[in-house]
Structure 1
Amino acid sequence: MYDQPKLSELIRFARVGADSTVIDVYPGDGDWTRLFSDIVGPKGRVYSFVPAEVAHFKNDPVGRMRTLATEPGRENVEAVSADLIAMPKVTQPADVLWLHLFYHDLHTPLMQARGATAAHFNRVVYEQLKPGGYYVIVDHAAAVGQGTSDAQSLHRIEPASVREEVEAAGFVLDAESTMLANKDDPHSIKVFDPAIKGETDRFAYRFVKP
């Protein structure tokens, strides 16, 4: 996770507030789900959405989120799982859909095995957000000109490619942030490399559904 100033800025950037309904896609350890749960309060809702494409992982991502949802004060959290493109079947229309360090995975064989191309998933997100809702994407940046070619090998994606794909689904870019940028990232090594892990050059986009 990030230090407190960056966390606070990211929360503001995502436009998550009291009473919001948020879908946290591929929640990992659940850190963002917990943060959103605290922010939206008892009248809000947080869907901790584990794609079925990764539900079989040995760390039991679905079970972990179901356990999280039983923590004291987490009555506003619901752990759900389905194929990526079946997300609307297990969630309600949302104010914010949050995608943290995951968008690039939409261009990998694992995520596409059940038919979830980036284009298809973006259309599903568009359908599931309320009018005026926000689609917020934070990811590891690939070098300019690389497009989606480093998604599998380096877990990176070029920001311009993300913008092009999301806007093609009908979204409008509402804001972008360089708060997580790192000009010293060579962009040519895997994000898990000890030389850059946790310090990758990252971009943040907030798209709105008109």
Structure 2
Amino acid sequence: MYDQSILSELIRFARVDAGSTVIDVYPGDGDWTRLFSDVVGAKGRIYSFVPAEVADFKNDPVGRMRTLAKEPGRENVEAVSADLVAILQATEPADVLWLHLFYHDLHTALMQARGATAADFNRAVYERLKPGGFYVIVDHAAAAGAGTGDAQSLHRIDPASVREEVETAGFVLDAESTMLANNDDPHAIKVFDPSIKGQTDRFAYRFVKP
């Protein structure tokens, strides 16, 4: 995770406020689910959404989120799991949908194994967000011009490709941030390489549903 100042800035950037309904997609260890749970409070709602495409991983991502939802003070958290494009049926209309270091996975064989594509998912997100809702994406940057070609091999994606795909679904770019940029990242190595792990060049986009 990031230091506290970055965490606070990212939460502000995502427009998560008291009373918000937030969908945290592919929540991993649940760090963002917990942070958002604290911010939205008793009148808010957090859906910790585990894609069915990864639900059978050995670390039991669904079980972990169900355990998280039982922690004291987490009554506003609901752990849900469904195919990526079934997010419409698994959650209620939301103010914010949050994707942290995951968008590139929409272009991998694993996430497409059940037939979903990035275009399908973006359309589902558009339908699930309330008018004026925010679709927030933070991801590892690929080299300019790389498109989606490095998503499978390096776990990176060209920010320009993300913007094009999301805007095609009807969203409008509302803001972008360079707070996680790293100009020393060569963009040509896998994000798990020890020389760059945790320090990759990352972009942050906030799109709005008109």
| Per-residue deviation, residues 98-125 of structure 1 (Å, max 9, x unmatched) | 0000000000011011121000000000
Q: 1:157 matched to which residue of 2?
A: 157
Q: Does structure 1 residue 24 correspond to structure 2 residue 24?
A: yes
Q: 2:65 matched to which residue of 1?
A: 65
CA distance, structure 1, for counterparts of residue 195 and residue 22 of structure 2: 34
Q: Does structure 1 residue 45 correspond to structure 2 residue 35?
A: no
Q: 1:206 matched to which residue of 2?
A: 206
1:120-139 correspondence to structure 2 within 5 Å: 120-139=120-139
Q: Does structure 1 residue 191 correspond to structure 2 residue 191?
A: yes
Q: Report deviation, 1:172.
A: 0.1
CA distance, structure 1, for counterparts of residue 181 and residue 137 of structure 2: 14
Q: 1:109 matched to which residue of 2?
A: 109
SS at the partner of 2:2?
coil
The AA in structure 2 aligned to 1:57 is F
CA distance, structure 2, for counterparts of residue 38 and residue 116 of structure 1: 32
Listed as ranges, the gaps of 5+ residues in structure 2 are none
Q: Report deviation, 1:40.
A: 0.3
Q: Report deviation, 1:144.
A: 0.6
State the 4+ residue runs in structure 1 displaced beyond 3 angstroms.
Answer: none
Q: Report deviation, 1:88.
A: 1.1
CA distance, structure 2, for counterparts of residue 61 and residue 95 of structure 1: 24
The AA in structure 2 aligned to 1:35 is L
| Per-residue deviation, residues 153-195 of structure 1 (Å, max 9, x unmatched) | 0000000000000000000000000000000000000000000
Q: 2:81 matched to which residue of 1?
A: 81
Q: Does structure 1 residue 170 correspond to structure 2 residue 170?
A: yes
The AA in structure 2 aligned to 1:97 is L
SS at the partner of 2:22?
strand
Count of aligned residue pairs for this structure pair: 210
Q: Report deviation, 1:55.
A: 0.2
CA distance, structure 2, for counterparts of residue 84 and residue 191 of structure 1: 23
Listed as ranges, the gaps of 5+ residues in structure 1 are none
* Seq. identity, %: 86
CA distance, structure 1, for counterparts of residue 65 and residue 183 of structure 2: 35
SS at the partner of 2:110?
helix
Asked whether the equivalents of residues 53 and 111 of structure 1 are also in contact (C-alpha less than 8 Å), the reply is yes
SS at the partner of 2:157?
coil
Q: 1:96 matched to which residue of 2?
A: 96
| Per-residue deviation, residues 55-96 of structure 1 (Å, max 9, x unmatched) | 010000000000000000000000000000001111000000
CA distance, structure 2, for counterparts of residue 115 and residue 179 of structure 1: 34
CA distance, structure 2, for counterparts of residue 71 and residue 88 of structure 1: 26
Could you say what the CA RMSD is over the residues aligned between the two structures, in angstroms? Answer: 0.3
Q: 2:54 matched to which residue of 1?
A: 54
| Per-residue deviation, residues 10-46 of structure 1 (Å, max 9, x unmatched) | 0000000000000000000000000000000001000
Asked whether the equivalents of residues 140 and 157 of structure 1 are also in contact (C-alpha less than 8 Å), the reply is yes
CA distance, structure 1, for counterparts of residue 115 and residue 13 of structure 2: 31
SS at the partner of 2:130?
strand
